[in-house]
Amino acid sequence: MPVFTYKAMQASGVAIEGSIEAGGRQDAARMIEERGLTPVRLTESAALVTTARGAKPAAPTASRTLFKSTRVTFDALEDFTRSLSSLLAANVPLSRALTILYKESSNPVASAKWRELHDFVIDGVPLAEAMNRSPEVFPRVYTAMVEAGEAGGFLDVVLAQIADFQAREKEMRAKVVSAMMYPAVLLTLAVGVLIFLMVFFIPRFQTLFAGFDAALPALTLAIVAISDAMRNYGLYMVAALVAAVWFGRKWFKKESSRRLWESWMLRMPVIGPLAAKIAMARFCRMLGTLLGAGVSLISALSVSRRSLGYQTLIDLVTDSTERVKKGEALGASLADCRALFGGSTLEMIAVAEESGRLDQELVRLAGVTEITLDRQLKTAVALAEPLMLFGIAGLIGTIFIGMVIPIFTIQDYIK
C-alpha cells in the first residue's frame, strides 16, 4: 500500500509533518482530515520493497526503462483531451475524471503525467497552472485555452474544441508529410547516388587517366578534386556538418536570430505565402473556436495569437489586440497585418463582426483557407518533383560528361 508524507495544520495553527499509509491520494487526504488536520502538502513516497534488512525504496530496473519512450505522444494527448471533455460534460468532478484517465491509460508515460496532473489538482492547483508546469506535453496555446475555459466556467466545451482543433492539426500535418514524402525520397536517392559516384566511380577513371600525360579539361579536374576531397576528408566534412547544425540550433534559439530567420522565410516566393496562410488558418480557427465557446474577444485574441507560430506575426496581432482594447473594431485593427490577411478577408471579418456572427465566419474562413492550402500544396509538390528530377539528371549528366570528354582527348593523344 502506498505511503504518503504530508504537512498539515492543526486547529491551533501549528504545522506538523508525518506519513500515512493509504490506498490512494484521496484516501490519504480524507484520513488526515479525520484527524482534525488541514492538509497543506501531500506527496507519495517511493515504493517500498521489503528485504531481509528492512524496507528500502525499490530501484527501477533497466528492463522497465530501456527502449521506452519518455514523451507523451500527440495521439495520447488528443485522446486525453477528448475523454476529459466528455467526463466533465457528464458532470464528473475534475479530480475523479483525472483519476479515471490515469488509471485507464495504456501508455505508462501518459498515465504518469495524468496522475501528476491529478496530484496537483488535489493540492488545489488550477488545471491550467498544473499543465503549464509540463510545457513539453501541453503547448502554451493549449494551457491558455484551458485557462480561459476555467475562468469562464465552460472547461468541458473548451476541451472539446481543443480536441477538434488537434484532430484538424493532425490531419493538416499528415497532408504536409505525405506531400513531401516523394520529394524527400528523391533527394535522399540523389545524395546517395552522388556520393557513390564521387567516392567509388570517379577513382576508377583517375587510374585510367594517370597513365597518360594529356591535359584534362577543367570540368574533369574539378570533378576529380571534389572526389578526392570527399574520399580524403569525408569524415571531417560530416563532422563539420554536424557542428554547423549544432551551432545553427543554438543560433536559432536566440530571439533576434529567430525573428531574422522568420522574416527571411516569410519573404520567400513559394514557401512564404504558404506558411502565412497556414498561420492565418490556425489563427482564424482558434479565434472562432474560442469566441464560439463564450470567451471574450480580448482574451480570445490573446490566446489565438500564440497559435501563429512566428514571432513576427505574433507581434503584428499583438498590436491589433491593443487597438481592440481601445475600442477599435477587429477588422480595422487587423488591417496592418497584410502578411496574414488580404483585403477581401478583412472585409468579410468586418461584415461578420457587424452582423454578430464573427465566430462562425472565422471558422468558415479557416475551412476555406485549408482547402485552398491543400490544393496549393499539391500544386507546389507537383512542380517540385520534375524540378528535382531535372536537377538530379543535370548533376549526374555533368559528372558523366566530365568523365567521358577526357576519353576522346586520350584517343586523339594516342593517334
CATH for the 160-415 domain, from 1.20.81.30, 3.30.160.60, 3.40.50.300, 3.40.640.10: 1.20.81.30
Each of the 415 residues of the chain gets a pLDDT tens digit; together they read 677 777 776 766 667 788 887 776 667 777 877 777 776 666 666 444 333 344 444 444 333 444 445 678 888 888 888 888 888 888 888 888 888 888 888 888 888 888 888 888 887 888 888 888 888 888 877 887 788 777 777 788 778 878 877 787 777 777 777 777 777 787 888 888 888 878 887 777 777 666 655 667 788 788 888 888 888 888 888 899 899 989 888 887 787 887 888 888 888 887 788 888 888 888 888 788 778 877 788 888 887 887 777 777 888 888 888 888 888 888 888 887 777 888 888 888 888 888 888 888 888 888 888 888 878 877 877 777 788 788 888 888 888 887 777 776 665 555 5
Q: Which among 204, 199, 190 is positioned nearest to 406, based on CA atoms?
A: 204
Q: In what order do the strands lie in the sheet with 15-21?
A: 15-21, 3-9, 38-44
Q: Show Cβ contacts of residue 224 under 8 Å, excluding neighbours closer than 6 positions.
A: 202, 205, 206, 216
**Measuring CA to CA, how many Å separate 141 from each of 133, 138, 360?**
14, 8, 21
**Report field, pTM of the whole predicted structure over 0.85:** no
Q: What does residue 123 show for φ and ψ, rounded to 5 degrees?
A: -80, 0
